Amino acid sequence: MTHRSAVPVSPAFESISRGAQFRDRIAIVVKASPKAIFQALHEVTLRDMKFAWLLGELRYLPSRLAGHMPVADSSRPFMNTLIEGGTLILRDDTPREVITGSAAQLHRVHQAPQRFANREAFETFDDPDHEKLFMSVRVAPTGRPGEHWLVLEHATRALSPLAERKFARYWRVIKPMGAFVTWQLLRAVRRRAERAAVVPLRSQRLWRSVLATTIIVCTVGDRPTVLAYMT
């Protein structure tokens, strides 16, 4: 059996997130095409990852109660919710990779996420009380037919030594939770992508079965006559 290749590094993400002090990366194997995987990524909702949704609600409950953050609509696609919350798409190389960026006071209860009109505004933002969060979602071959790596990588860059110290304390607490949420998201995408890949195959087998058992009959006089047997 062919061995799976190692999870590849993204040169584009390394360039965009350079200087980030905090990183995490999780990858899973998906038996679907890159197109199907990215389609699933853009369709998956918070309802598809119930435990992650619950953790997020608990994490942001103080902000919601204080009116700093609206209640999340669990039926909306996760990526849409992310973008509407202030996350900016920095690079879109669908269906290979999407890189996003956001800035907020991530170490605080009320994170005060920033909004940017464009990538230039994001890149020049340098408020020392904030951190920038970069995310890469990418697909790469595993070396086995029909399989691909689905990789989600985060990189956080604190914009000052003080912000770095504050975020380091927050990171020790939030990292396990963040990893769990990432796993939930990737598995939800995998379920959708693999289900979409299986349905056409089932439909194709069903159609072949129908063709294989279709008999065209015509009555000639009082006797039915088989005109064709389709295989």
Question: What is the bridge-based pairing of β-strands 223-230 and 214-220?
Answer: antiparallel
- Helix 161-212 with 50-65: angle, nearest 10 deg: 140
Query: What is the model's pLDDT at position 220?
Result: 43
What is the per-residue pLDDT across 81-135, written as a single tens digit (0 to 9) for each? 889 888 999 999 999 999 999 999 999 888 889 999 999 999 999 999 999 999 9
pLDDT higher than 50, residue 203: no
Whether the pLDDT of residue 202 is over 60: the answer is: no
HEC secondary structure over 41-67: HHHCEHHHHHHHHHHHHHHHHHHHHCC
If pLDDT is split at 50, 70 and 90, which confidence band does 56 have?
Answer: low
The pLDDT value given to residue 64 = 53
User: What pLDDT is recorded for position 215?
Assistant: 36
Residue 225 has pLDDT above 50, yes or no: no
- Residue 142: the pLDDT is 96
pLDDT at position 12 is: 97
Residue bearing the bigger pLDDT, 202 or 137: 137
178 falls in which pLDDT band (50, 70, 90)? confident
Q: How confident is the model at residue 216 (pLDDT cuts 50, 70, 90)?
A: very low
pLDDT: is 113 or 204 the higher one?
A: 113
- What is the pLDDT confidence band of residue 59, given thresholds at 50, 70 and 90? low
Give the pairing of strands 214-220 and 148-158.
unpaired
- Give CA–CA dist 169/217, Å, rounded: 78
Region 144-163 average pLDDT: 97
Question: How confident is the prediction for the chain on average, in pLDDT?
Answer: 82
Query: 81 or 167: whose pLDDT is higher?
Result: 167
CB 22 within 8 A of CB 153: no
- Per residue in 34-54, pLDDT tens? 999 999 999 999 888 865 555
pTM given for the model = 0.79
Helix (H, G, I), strand (E, B), or coil: what is residue 160?
coil
